[in-house]
């Protein structure tokens, strides 16, 4: 979807590698179109060079502020992100519902794909919830690292399982040596 929009991007360093905010003016305001995290084997900088060859990083005050907030979050600060600066219209209605539910999970808590599906009144849609979160265009702003599998295992994450584990641990979520969440702080 990014390739179809006239977008700019801002790249920042972070403790898990660079991250990128793709953004564009939408209805007269700068809005985030996508957050791209570095992942094992594919730094965000390389991905941007492939998606936007020859384009230079550029920001504006509002987008730079969001990048600052993401940087602070990745360093362990308790940051609450507003949803008014993201392009939800690039997501399906179902994905928007899932992302809003995920955004509602507080720091230090986790939920499961099944619990989120139940919260949305779609108790048989756990797999669809997982897919909606796997393709979350706004990781960190929408804290999809807080969704885990029903068996307590971490599940997937765009920035890799190591990053997901560290983010959860920074938020005070206990994870056993087996890789399963051992907290009793479930949301929904």
pLDDT tens digits, residue range 68-126? Answer: 999 999 999 999 999 999 999 999 999 999 999 999 999 999 999 999 999 999 999 99
pLDDT reported for residue 54:
74
DSSP assignment of 57-114: P---HHHHHHHHHHHHHHTT------STTB-GGGS-HHHHHHHHHHHTSPTT-BEEHH
Round to whole Å and give the CA distance between 133 and 119.
15
- How does pLDDT run across 46-75, given as a tens digit for each residue? 988 888 777 777 878 999 999 999 999 999
Round to whole Å and give the CA distance between 116 and 85.
24
180 is known as an active-site residue: no
Sequence ranges of the chain with CATH classification 3.30.160: 2-74
Q: pLDDT tier at 184 (50, 70, 90 boundaries)?
A: confident
The three-state secondary structure class of 158 is coil
Q: Which two tokens stand for residue 125?
A: 């849609």
Sequence ranges of the chain with CATH classification 1.10.10.10: 91-170
Round to whole Å and give the CA distance between 9 and 32.
9
Round to whole Å and give the CA distance between 24 and 9.
8
Q: CATH classification of 2-74, choosing from 1.10.287, 3.30.200, 3.30.160, 1.10.10?
A: 3.30.160
The three-state secondary structure class of 165 is helix
**What predicted TM-score, i.e. pTM, was given to this entire model?**
0.91
Count CB atoms within 10 A of the CB of residue 14: 20
Q: Which of 52, 60, 91, 144 is catalytic?
A: 144
- Identify the residue whose tokens are 């756990």: 126
- How does pLDDT run across 128-180, given as a tens digit for each residue? 999 999 999 999 999 999 999 999 999 999 999 999 999 999 999 999 999 99
CATH 4.10.1240.10 fits 91-170, yes or no: no
């Amino acid at each position: 979807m990014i390739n179809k929009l006239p977008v700019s991007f801002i790249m920042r360093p972070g403790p898990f590698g660079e991250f990128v905010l793709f953004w564009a003016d939408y209805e007269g305001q700068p809005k985030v179109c996508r957050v791209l995290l570095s992942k094992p084997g594919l730094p965000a900088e390389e991905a941007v060079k492939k998606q936007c060859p020859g384009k230079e990083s550029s920001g504006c005050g509002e987008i730079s502020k969001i990048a600052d907030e993401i940087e602070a979050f990745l360093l362990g600060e308790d940051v609450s992100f507003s949803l008014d600066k993201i392009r939800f219209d690039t997501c399906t209605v179902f994905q928007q519902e899932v992302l809003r539910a995920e955004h509602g999970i507080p720091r230090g808590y986790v939920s499961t794909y099944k619990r989120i599906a139940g919260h949305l009144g779609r108790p048989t849609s756990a797999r669809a919830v997982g897919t909606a979160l796997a393709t979350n265009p706004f990781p960190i702003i929408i804290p999809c690292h807080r969704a885990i599998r029903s068996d307590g295992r971490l599940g997937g994450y765009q920035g890799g399982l190591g990053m997901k584990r560290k983010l959860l641990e920074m938020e005070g979520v206990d994870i056993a040596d087996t890789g399963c969440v051992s907290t009793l702080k479930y949301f929904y």
